[in-house]
Amino acid sequence: MKIAVIGCGYLGAVHAAAMASLGYETVGVDVDEAKIERLRRGEPPFYEPGLPELLKAGVDAGTLRFTTDVSEVAGSDVVFIAVGTPQRAGSDAADLTYVDASIESLLPHIGEGTLVAGKSTVPVGTAQRLADIVAPTGAALAWNPEFLREGFAVEDTLTPDRLVYGVADGDDASVARLDEVYAGILARGTDRLVVNFATAELVKVSANAFLATKISFINAMAELSETVGADVTQLADAIGLDARIGRRFLNAGLGFGGGCLPKDIRAFQARADELGHGQTLGFLREVDQINLRRRDRMVALIDGELAAVGGDRVAMLGLAFKPNSDDVRDSPALDVSRTLQERGRVVKAYDPEASETARRSVPTLEIVGSVDEAIRNADVLALGTEWQQFRDLDPAEVATKTAARVIVDGRNTLDARAWAAVGFKVIGLGRPD
Ligand code: UGA
């Protein structure tokens, strides 16, 4: 079996490495020369635990190649489309430029017997449109959404919760082909659902919309908790014990960011508007608003504490949108840092992996090389991303390295009692002081 993967960003690079690890001759294609150069050396262009090893194994074994020349997909049995679908500039809708361009570029190199399998997150209706474009070549098209999480991308790709195949009515050949590709994964008893195009597209966006809604639900409870003196963490523990609700994705704090949930809920809404269902998904606007308000709340809390101590220096621990990632796209921690800076505060930030990406995104932000440097002259400490390194900090040791005695925990992740025991005021989001 020969596999090609178009687009070697987050999704594509991981998928290509995973395909090679399953024993297939795999070629990854991307227009970005620099990215391809790095991948050829077995180096991922982003931080992802486990991926360097997987890439290197494939490259060293000769089963995994990378190229900028799309004609090298010729002869592939399956061509996966894994290009990005970012938010369109000046709009909430998804930008399908890369998906459309990759399909166009493929047309001369595919034919009878090729399966084009879309993995990118697309607005409902896209797969059918692309199937019509591909059809004259004789190739088939399927939609096979991906549910990987950054930080767990390798694990999620090789041991997914489920596989979803969106195929045209009666297209058993594409189902059989995908079954062959995923044989090793299916052999472990992984659920596999065969559905139509629209369902496959909706499974992906509705899963992300549900997760975003779950987070914003608990953050709405955090807003209320702040007013009435309740503790949102205890609330989440209590409601999460109901198996129908579940405790996962009920961590209140700074809310969701990253390259997926925020843009996906906006694109979903924009698509619903186009379909005359604006009202149906109107609640997602609220989900977005609740999420963004948490950032304002964190800024206000930090501002309030700075005013109380008569200082203006903030140490921000964490910039990535979540731990185990160097991704700062729509990162709440970075957003809060930038806003504080715009308000004239002096921010020194530290992140174990996201310094470079954050610097590119906000060049004016002062990013230092260690926790110690960030906290040394700070008036208030703030936690924006719950890296294990920050959870493991010894409050007694921190107290010897900074004069600050307030920490605003934007992820409700610190052991408040241990910090309080050495004299820190710990402020959570949605928790009483
Ligand atoms: C998300 C989905 O979880 C994946 O299933 C999906 O495949 C992916 O988007 C995608 O569409 O490609 P990801 O963006 O990597 O994955 O990150 P998540 O782990 O979902 O976290 C998203 C954000 O929510 C982070 O900023 C995180 O800090 C925040 N979050 C998560 C909370 O604020 N509270 C929680 O309880 C959980």
Ligand 1 atom closest to residue 264's alpha carbon, by position in its atom list: 11
- Is 412 labelled as part of a ligand binding site? no
Nearest CA to ligand 1 atom 30: 256
Q: Which of 180, 195, 210 is the last residue of a domain?
A: 195
Domain match, 423 and 409 both: yes
Residue 117: closest CA among 11, 233, 249: 11
Range of the domain at 184: 2-195
**Which alpha helices (DSSP H) does 152-260 contain, by range?**
153-158, 172-181, 183-186, 197-228, 232-240
Under DSSP, the state recorded for 213 is: H
> Does the CB atom of residue 150 touch ligand 1 within 6 A?
yes
What is the C-alpha separation between 108 and 117, in angstroms, rounded? Answer: 17
Please give the structure tokens belonging to residue 179: 């079954």
What is the C-alpha separation between 347 and 353, in angstroms, rounded? Answer: 18
Domain match, 313 and 353 both: yes
Q: Are 262 and 330 in contact (CB under 8 A)?
A: yes
Nearest CA to ligand 1 atom 19: 149
| C-alpha torsion sign, points 142, 125, 94, 330 | negative
Domain match, 306 and 189 both: no
Domain match, 150 and 234 both: no
> Does the CB atom of residue 262 touch ligand 1 within 6 A?
no
Tens digits of residue pLDDT in 215-258? 999 999 999 999 999 999 999 999 999 999 999 999 999 999 99
Rounded to the nearest whole angstrom, what is the distance from the C-alpha of residue 147 to the centroid of ligand 1? 10
Domain match, 6 and 31 both: yes
- Is 126 labelled as part of a ligand binding site? no
Ligand 1 atom closest to residue 386's alpha carbon, by position in its atom list: 28
Tens digits of residue pLDDT in 106-150? 999 999 999 999 999 999 999 999 999 999 999 999 999 999 999
Domain match, 263 and 142 both: no
What's the residue count for the chain?
Answer: 433
What is the C-alpha separation between 409 and 333, in angstroms, rounded? Answer: 11
What is the C-alpha separation between 90 and 180, in angstroms, rounded? Answer: 42
> Does the CB atom of residue 395 touch ligand 1 within 6 A?
no
Nearest CA to ligand 1 atom 1: 149
Domain match, 242 and 387 both: yes
Q: Which of 175, 195, 215 is the last residue of a domain?
A: 195
User: If residue 35 lies in a helix (H) or strand (E), which one and from where to where?
Assistant: helix 33-40
Ligand 1 atom closest to residue 411's alpha carbon, by position in its atom list: 33
Rounded to the nearest whole angstrom, what is the distance from the C-alpha of residue 253 to the centroid of ligand 1? 13
- Supply the pLDDT for residue 410: 98
Q: 127's torsion region: left (phi>0), alpha (psi -120 to 50) or beta?
A: alpha
- Supply the pLDDT for residue 433: 79
Q: Which of 129, 164, 195 is the last residue of a domain?
A: 195
Domain match, 167 and 262 both: no
Domain match, 227 and 104 both: no
Cite the active site residues: 260
Q: Complex ipTM, two decimals?
A: 0.98
Domain match, 62 and 125 both: yes
Domain match, 303 and 318 both: yes
Task: Report, in angstroms and rounded to the nearest whole number, the Rg of the chain calculated over CA atoms.
Answer: 23
Largest CA distance in the chain: 72
E-state strands within 68-189: 78-81, 115-118, 140-143, 162-166
Q: Are 219 and 255 in contact (CB under 8 A)?
A: yes
Domain match, 421 and 301 both: yes
Q: Are 318 and 333 in contact (CB under 8 A)?
A: yes
- Is 329 labelled as part of a ligand binding site? yes
- Give the mutation target among 261, 295, 388 for probing the ligand 1 site: most ligand atoms within 8 A of CB: 261
CATH number of the structural domain spanning residue 69: 3.40.50.720
Task: Count up the domains in the chain and report the number.
Answer: 2
Ligand 1 atom closest to residue 207's alpha carbon, by position in its atom list: 5
- What string of pLDDT tens digits covers the 433 residues of the chain? 999 999 999 999 999 999 999 999 999 999 999 999 999 999 999 999 999 999 999 999 999 999 999 999 999 999 999 999 999 999 999 999 999 999 999 999 999 999 999 999 999 999 999 999 999 999 999 999 999 999 999 999 999 999 999 999 999 999 999 999 999 999 999 999 999 999 999 999 999 999 999 999 999 999 999 999 999 999 999 999 999 999 999 999 999 999 999 999 999 999 999 999 999 999 999 999 999 999 999 999 999 999 999 999 999 999 999 999 999 999 999 999 999 999 999 999 999 999 999 999 999 999 999 999 999 999 999 999 999 999 999 999 999 999 999 999 999 999 999 999 999 999 999 998 7
Nearest CA to ligand 1 atom 29: 256
